[in-house]
Amino acid sequence: MSKTLTSRAGLAYSALLALGMIIVIGSALGFQYIGGYIPCALCLEQRQPYYYGIPVAIVAALTAVAGMPSWITRALLAIAGIMMMVGGGIGVYHAGVEWHFWAGPTTCSTSASSMTQNAGDLLNELSTIKGPSCTEAALRVLGLSMAGWNVIASVILAAIAFMGVKKAG
């Protein structure tokens, strides 16, 4: 395959990966800030691979645009793919906690209340309000919690990343 085609493939897969990750994390943030679903400790943990993976995918796209050696783009895509696999693993763990297959971490609290809209009480509430329990799914769509949907999204995004590794080579 010519250098131009591998560069285009690297750009296409990197851009698709970054866009997919942005959509997933944007949806989670939308559910939190628009829908009012307060994330539990494991929900927040599942976001970490996206927060780190988005910049990696963007840098991979930039390396393809700059015409850098394809191994750099492929390595960055592989790193982002591994991050998505880790995110999927955390999602499987969280979904198992929700279905009571195994115990969750001790960092998960058992109750949550909504945050105040009063700025004067905000600092006090930040130190006293705990997220909801990791053992109860706040929302299920088609039988899957958000953790379950994250597993699906993570697997798809990892597949995109690894296809990009192969095609950009």
Provide the residue ranges of all domains of the chain, joining segments of one domain with +.
Answer: 3-167
pLDDT confidence of residue 133 = 76
Instruction: Answer yes or no: are the C-beta atoms of 108 and 135 closer than 8 Å.
Output: yes
Which among 28, 44, 50 has a CA at the least distance from the CA of 157?
A: 50
Contact by Cβ (8 Å): 157, 13: no
Mean pLDDT of the chain: 84
Is residue 115 over pLDDT 70?
no
Q: Tell me the mean pLDDT in the region 100-116.
A: 66
Q: Hey, is 141 helix, strand or coil?
A: strand
Asked if 64 and 11 touch (Cβ cutoff 8 Å), the reply is yes
Q: Look up residue 30 and give its two tokens.
A: 């939308």
Predicted confidence at residue 124, as pLDDT, reads 61
User: Is the pLDDT assigned to residue 4 strictly greater than 80?
Assistant: no
pLDDT of residue 56: 97
Instruction: Tell me the two tokens of residue 113.
Output: 């209340």
Is residue 37 very low, low, confident or very high in pLDDT (cuts 50, 70, 90)?
Answer: confident
Across the range 114-125, mean pLDDT stands at 57
Q: Is the pLDDT of residue 117 over 50?
A: yes
Distance CA 149, CA 1 (A): 36
pLDDT above 50 (res 1): no
pLDDT of residue 147: 87
Indicate the SS3 state at residue 138. Answer: coil
State the Cα–Cα distance between residues 33 and 101, nearest whole angstrom.
30
pLDDT of residue 112: 46
Structure confidence at residue 130 (pLDDT) = 57
Given CA atoms 134, 140, 146, 151 in this order, what sign does their dihedral have?
Answer: positive
Range of 35-39, 40-44, 56-60, 114-118 with top mean pLDDT: 56-60
Q: CATH assignment of 3-167, given 1.20.1550, 3.40.50, 1.10.3470, 2.60.40?
A: 1.20.1550
Q: Which two tokens stand for residue 83?
A: 């991050």
- Residue 104 pLDDT level (bands cut at 50, 70, 90): confident
Q: Considering only CA atoms, which of 153, 150, 159 is closest in space to residue 90? A: 150
- Cα–Cα dist 27/149, whole Å: 11
Let me know: does 13 contact 150? Beta carbons within 8 Å. Answer: no
